[in-house]
Amino acid sequence: MRKPLHCLGVVLAGGKSSRMGKDKALLSVNGERLLDRSVTLLNKAGVDQTIISGNVHGEQDKLECIGPLGGIYTALVKYQPHALLIIPVDLPFIDLTTLQHLKSAGQLSNKACFYQQHYLPLYLPNNHFCQRFFTKNIATQTSLIPKNKTNTYSVRSMLNHLPHRELPIKNPHALFNANTPQDWQQVEGKLAKNRSYNVKF
- Domains of the chain by start residue, with CATH: 8-196 (3.90.550.10)
pLDDT classification of 129: cutoffs 50, 70, 90: very high
- Measured CA to CA, the distance from residue 68 to residue 86 in angstroms comes to 10
Structural contact between residues 159 and 134, judged by C-beta atoms closer than 8 angstroms: no
Which of 25-29, 43-47, 121-125, 166-170 has the least mean pLDDT? Answer: 25-29
Long-range contact set of residues 18-27: C-beta below 8 Å, sequence gap at least 24: 19/179, 19/180, 20/90, 20/178, 20/179, 20/180, 20/181, 20/183, 20/184, 21/181, 23/56, 24/89, 24/90, 24/178, 24/179, 25/54, 25/56, 25/57, 25/89, 27/92, 27/178, 27/184
pTM of this prediction exceeds 0.85:
yes
More confident residue, 115 or 137: 115
Cα distances (angstroms) measured from residue 166 to each of 54, 70, 109, 171, 194: 27, 23, 11, 14, 30
Residue 193: the pLDDT is: 83
Q: Alpha helices, DSSP H only, in 32-179?
A: 34-44, 68-79, 96-109, 128-133, 155-159
